[in-house]
Amino acid sequence: MPVIRLALAQMNTVVGGFAQNVETLGRFRTQAAAAGADLVLSPELALTGYPPEDLLLKEGFIAATGLALEELALDLNLPPLLVGTVVAEGAYGVKLVPSSDGRDLPLTHRADSRAGHIANALVAISERGIEAVATKRLLPNYDVFDELRYFHPGLGAHTIVNVAGVAVGLLICEDVWTSQGPAAKLAAQGATLLVVANASPFARGRRDEREAMLRERALETSCPIAYVNLVGGQDELVFDGQSVVVNEVGDVIARAGAFSEEMLVCEIEARASEVGTPIDTLYARDESRTKAMHVNHVADPLSDVEEIYQALVMGTRDYLRKNGFRSAILGLSGGIDSSLVATIAVDAVGARAVRGFAMPSRYSSDHSVSDAVELAARLDIELTTLPIEPAHHALGGILANVLDSEPSGLTDENLQSRIRGVLLMAISNATGAIVLTTGNKSEMATGYSTLYGDSAGGFAVIKDVPKTLVYELCRYRNEVAAGDGDPEPIPLAVLVKAPSAELRPDQFDDQSLPPYDELDPLLELYVEGDATAEELIERGHDPALVLRIARLVDMSEYKRRQMPPGVRISKKAFGRDRRMPITNAFRPDTE
């Protein structure tokens, strides 16, 4: 049987950054040439960056995509490239499902829209230019995906190209997930190797799901499958890479690492076939140059907590880098959340680019400041102390003229938090540094945060991380440091003390919330599992606890709408995943 040497370009794209993406694709293609690759496979929408969202509604964006594709096609004497991009109907013979077939149509195709029909495509390029185009057939419209808003599925026969005597069937992401779907049709048409371009966002457990699915599809089609995935952060989403190749019985024969760019080179044995458009080029392997090339490397999978930590680091790094922020600031309270965010930030952009601010109030304990000082010393970041008591006293006096007394209770607690937010945002304005907020998912879910206070900032690093997982991530990071012989970044005192906002005397979180080990599992069921309060009670959970948590979550939707973006690490994060109405009469006590 023929053997094809395939290069999977696990690349980090920039949405709308055509020049950067063309350069990155060229770099991978040149590396693939040196590795003697017969074919280079890029991720889904690698040319545009993913997801481009409503940029796809702009005619100028589609035109710019076409120009970038033409630029790629000018590269000569390099291996053929399969590039993920957008293609308009009619270009290169592309036919799409028409508006009159009765399907629900994307907003792009309304009568008043100026945009034309477009497809999510995989384009085959050789030295002769554009050889073939595959269009995505199954358009996901769930979780974070909105592809029916933008794309039409392709029509006609599925696309097969002949490379080095192997019939290579072209698929895009969702097309490979469905049993008896496009993958099976390609195999029936004569494909002997399936390649899949993907932009599959990271979520806990997603790698195992992908590889289990690929095993099912390989057994169904009797074809080896090469699955390249995007890597990098884009707003809330993080793409983990972990591109993988399985043989015809679903065994993993190559796997790229997680959360880093990589060219995975794999030699794949596949049945010979004459089916498909030939895209062989004049490029020939120089075996003398490629004998030492390590192929079919299988990277070890990361543990669950290691994957999550790396996702948070990459999501933070890319948000800052791609949006032009050179530094970050945050409030350091000596608590567990700010300690984790500071550590992630240092791992993401380096200690010199991170600055902490301790902002004690009249209620702050001595250990809050000392723990913040110790953390900053271990992370080697600059820490500045800004006591907020003068501002607290002054604003309290101003409010007393309106309220007839000094502010107290929740009003006074929130006032302190908002003073801190004002200071950080002012420093951000003056320095250009982005403010990292430190609230976690448990707090976001229950509304245990202050609007325009601790929620004020540009990026919420751990907004999708429950409190119990915060502790787990801190312990993991300390273990990594200890294993490397380095000082543990997070002081033991931070890990063992009871969590508190310290906005009033003797305040602790469990005075306002259930214990986190009880809260977090029910939040996961209610928020990520979409269970109703009634369903949770029927499953045997404590009715009073369930109703309390459900009310807290439901009443806090208006707050969550005003939170900054943050890294998504679960299968349902607040924001683009979970879109609940703010005005909502469906309450647990009325079910």
**DSSP secondary structure, 54-90, as one string:** GGGG-HHHHHHHHHHHHHHTT--SS--EEEEEEEETT
Q: How many CA atoms lie within 13 A of 12 on its CB side?
A: 18
Which 3 state secondary structure label does DSSP give 412? Answer: helix
DSSP for 516-528 reads: HHHHHHHHIIIII
Beta pairing partners, 245: 226, 254
Three-state DSSP class for residue 201:
strand
Residue 180 CA to residue 219 CA, distance in Å, equals 12
534: tokens are 């009634």
Number of Cβ atoms within 10 Å of the Cβ of 10 = 27
Give the pairing type, strands 166-172 and 160-163. antiparallel
Closest Cα partner for 362 from 398, 399, 415? 415
Closest CA to 201 of 44, 40, 17: 44
* Residue in 89, 127, 147, 173 annotated catalytic: 173
The answer to whether the beta carbons of residues 191 and 168 sit under 8 Å apart is: yes
Three-state DSSP class for residue 258: strand
Cis peptide before 51 (omega within 30 of 0): yes
Do 148 and 139 contact (CB within 8 A), yes or no? Answer: yes
Given 44, 127, 147, 248, the catalytic residue: 44
Instruction: Report d(CA 524, CA 540) in Å as an integer.
Output: 16
8 A C-beta contact, residue 94 and residue 154 = yes
Whether 136 is a known active-site residue: answer: yes
Task: Count other Cβ atoms within 10 Å, centred on residue 114.
Answer: 8
Tokens representing residue 24 in the block: 């990155």
Number of Cβ atoms within 10 Å of the Cβ of 370: 14
Q: What angle do CA 134, 70, 7 make, to 5 degrees?
A: 55
Residue of 131, 136, 147, 174 marked catalytic: 136
Give strand ranges (E) for 146-216: 160-163, 166-172, 193-198
What are residue 169's DSSP bridge partners?
160, 194
CA distance from start to end of the chain: 63
Give buried/exposed letters for 372-402 (b at 16+ CB in 10 A, else e): bbbbbebbebebeebebeebbeebbeebeee
- Rounded Cα distance between 248 and 495, Å, is 48
Placement of tokens 């023929």 in the chain = 2
Does an H or E element contain 218, and which?
A: helix 206-221
Please name the helix (run of DSSP H) or strand (run of DSSP E) that holds residue 320, with its range, or none.
helix 304-322
Active site residue 441: no
Measured CA to CA, the distance from residue 213 to residue 306 in angstroms comes to 23
Structure tokens belonging to residue 17: 């950054």
Residue 193: left (phi > 0), alpha (psi -120 to 50), or beta? beta
Active site residues: 44, 136, 173
